[in-house]
Chain A
Amino acid sequence: MSSDPRDDDYLWDPRAPVDPEVERLERLLAPLAHVPGRSVPSNLPAGRRPALRAWAWVGAVAATVLAVLWVTGRAPDTVVPPPASGLELVALDPPQQLAESAWLETGAEERELRLGTVGQVTLGAGSRLEVRRLSAEETRLYLERGRLEALVSADAQPRFFQVDTPATRCVDLGCRYTLVVDERGDALVEVETGRVAFENDGRAVLVPRGASCRATRAAGAGTPRFLDAAAPLVEALDGFDAAAGTPSERRRALAAEALRAALSLRDALPVWHLLQDPDVEIAALAHLRLAELTEAPAAARATLGSAPDATARAAWRETLEPSWW
């Protein structure tokens, strides 16, 4: 088969002439498809197991939405969010409601916090946390020191949950992650599901599932890498990140070393971030390295050999993201 996606007409649209290989896969796998009504839970915990049959709870969905529409008088195409006043941040054991500007400090034990129905935070022992903003639009905490494990529901819109640290702002994009702030105020995030962004002064660093990133008070966010990255790449990236603020020749040499150590599509995560480096020489080197790791998307080819523009960076991201999630 051709390597051009445009030749996969039947895979894209079953109305196209049949591709026998794809059709055989379809025939084999079709019995696994969803069957309406089969989704009545069989092994949910007893407390959560509904007594209703599938179509009855579909009716419940309809009734819930209709009730909201009736109460609010909104147009039938609108689903209404809960009121802002409904969001509460509560520390458990013992229960303690936290308002904006409140501080919470843990001793020898960790403490669990619930953020309405959309978030759960475990604050590690020896941590100190401030509530900076608490609303239905945005919740922002400040982790001065310690360890914070956050689980933010898929219900929450991206960027809803943010944690400031002395070194950076950690923005949730729908996920579960652990953020640690040391005594110097430097931060480390490890992402278990979804993705977060470290943001400093208009620069954002994307940290997807299975990746980590450090941020220092001096230089802000560093370069993300996957937790299973090879040691030479990790060491080279650490060296490059530590060289922030040094003369450009040294940074370029360290960047080149890190780029040489990037050998796979997963390694392209840090390389993609170097496309945004303010030093155009480093950005251009990263651009070339990506094109060595995989075929450059059409929109990025025109700028190969120089620093990529926003279009090229976006094209690279679209190409590379599937290998990161």
Chain B
Amino acid sequence: MALEPLPRAAPLPTARSAGGESAGGEGADLEALYRRFAALAHGIALAHLGPDEADDVVQEVFLRLSEGRARLRDPQALPGWIASTARHAALDRLRARARGPRIGGAPLEERVASEPARGDDDLRRRVLALIGTLPEAYREALVLRLVEGLDGPSIAALTGHTPGSVRVHLHRGLELLRPLLTKEGWA
């Protein structure tokens, strides 16, 4: 029996559905690619790498797009390509680091265990580090929702997952995150 194909990219959102401007015609639509999809690339990079290099991954993704290296056959594949390229770029950077770090500069376990929360910045990084311990699909969905502010249907459309699985990823991700937050003193 052949494996069922993995979920592929969802249809490219229209400028209207993505909240972009469409009045300028083709040119405006093309320029809107960055506005539409940078948050997707950033969220995925953030979920794997943490905040320090996420912007660089976004840059890398759009540079590759501009260099014409994408072998995209139709525009519907674009969100999936961006998500996949951001994920690979983030993983490449992770490999380049010493084994262990995932979020931020130090090994994740050290960050979670050793740093007392001081102010919102510290807490923010620690919560993101905890999200970074979740399975990939859960942490990507949670970062896209809680950090980038995308709603569930948009995450499904952009990542190519079904709405049902994104909903499950969000729900289970939060379920797994909750006891970790409690341990961290999150009331």
Contacts and interface: CB of A to CB of B under 8 A. Distances in A.
B31 A59 contact: yes
Contacts of B145: 11
A78 to B, nearest CB: 7
Contacts of A14: 149, 151
A203 interface: yes
Interface stretch (A27-35, A91-99, A127-135): A27-35
Nearest to A322: B137
Interface residues of B, number: 79
A157 B148 CA distance: 27
B79 interface: no
B130 to A, nearest CB: 11
B159 interface: no
A36 B124 contact: no
Given A81-B73, A317-B4, A11 B171 contact: yes
B88 interface: yes
Contact of B30 (A11, A48, A62, A193): A62
A206 B2 CA distance: 10
Nearest to B89: A154
Interface string B133-147: 001111000010111
Interface in B68-120: 68-75, 78, 81, 84-85, 87-88, 91, 95, 120
A40 B124 contact: no
B23 interface: no
Contact of A5 (B6, B53, B167): B167
Interface in A165-189: 173-174
Contacts of B95: 192
A2 to B, nearest CB: 9
29 contacts: A1-B175, A8-B170, A11-B170, A12-B167, A13-B153, A14-B149, A26-B146, A28-B124, A30-B147, A30-B149, A33-B42, A34-B38, A34-B148, A36-B34, A36-B38, A44-B56, A48-B63, A61-B31, A64-B68, A66-B26, A66-B27, A68-B68, A78-B74, A79-B78, A153-B88, A204-B3, A322-B138, A324-B135, A325-B137
